[in-house]
Amino acid sequence: MATDRTPVTPSVVSSPASDDAPGGRSPDRLDGRVALVTGAGSAEGIGYATAHRLRALGASVAIVSTTRRIHDRAGELGVTGFVADLTDEAEVGALADAVADQLGPVEVVVNNAGLASKASPEVLRPVAQLTYDEWRAEIDRNLSTAFLVSRAFIPGMAELGWGRIVNLAATAGPINALPAEAGYAAAKAGVVGLTRALAMELVPDGITVNAVAPGIIHTSSSTLVELKQGFGTPMGRPGTPEEVAAAIGFLCTPAASYITGQMLVVDGGNSVAEASFR
């Protein structure tokens, strides 16, 4: 964990592009909107790719992670970076205030924080050997973060009458599971439940809530075993962070206005295949 978690120090503040379609904003773009992407500290991760995608769509983007390396990522992307522990309720509240002060009301939230990394590896242990602290740590970083961040930004979106929340689930939990990953699988299944409950609650406020469930994606935290499994998918390769970001980006746009409470699987068809193709 970082010792400096003060979520009030911006890196690079960017201005959104202004090429809205005649008569209003383009349904395929996010010009003039403010977006927050959590868990974007790795340059090879889904959060980073998503921030890049939203920036390209015209949004003014804030990114956050638990370490000060987020400021390096912010400088590379031309966005604003914050440091915060998103399992801490007080820090999430401070983050919400800081983002609003620096960029304005947030209309798009991508809850990517919680995915495993080399710095914070997933707990791999059978349930019978899993400690309660390990269980709670997996639930907190993969599910509680999405709850706390969503709760902090929902009132502002509701006041504006428009918003997009996209939560990062996974195929592990909602669709399948592997031994020794009970905490992670339970948390990601919980993300889908939270997504659907929020979607029904927020329909009257003009806010859609969806989940994206990546399968095997080639990131800096991928193990050789995972990458090998990726080559066994119907497409014959792991996915890329950019391919996941493309799905997230669409769900964040006005064009996705009639989609809510859904889970979009991005796994190269792996969860559909009944037998190995290769």
Backbone phi and psi for residue 131, each to the nearest 5 degrees, phi listed first: -80, 160
| Closest C-alpha to 182, from 169, 193, 172 | 172
Whether 48 sits among the annotated catalytic residues: the reply is no
Q: What is the DSSP string of the chain?
A: --S---TT--S---PPP--PPTTS--TT--TT-EEEEES---TTSHHHHHHHHHHHTT-EEEEEESSTTHHHHHHHHTSEEEE--TTSHHHHHHHHHHHHHHH----EEEE-TT---SSSPPP---GGG--HHHHHHHHIIIIIHHHHHHHHHHHHHHHHT-EEEEEE--SBTTTB--TT-HHHHHHHHHHHHHHHHHHHHHGGGTEEEEEEEE-SB--TT--HHHHHHHTTSTTSS-B-HHHHHHHHHHHHSGGGTT--S-EEEESTTTTT-SS---
Quote the CA–CA distance of 113 and 235 in Å, as a whole number.
Answer: 27
First to last CA, the chain: 41
Q: Which position has the token pair 């800096």?
A: 220
Catalytic residue among 48, 132, 184, 258: 184
- Cα-based angle 23, 29, 31 (whole degrees, multiple of 5): 75
Active site (catalytic) residues: 184
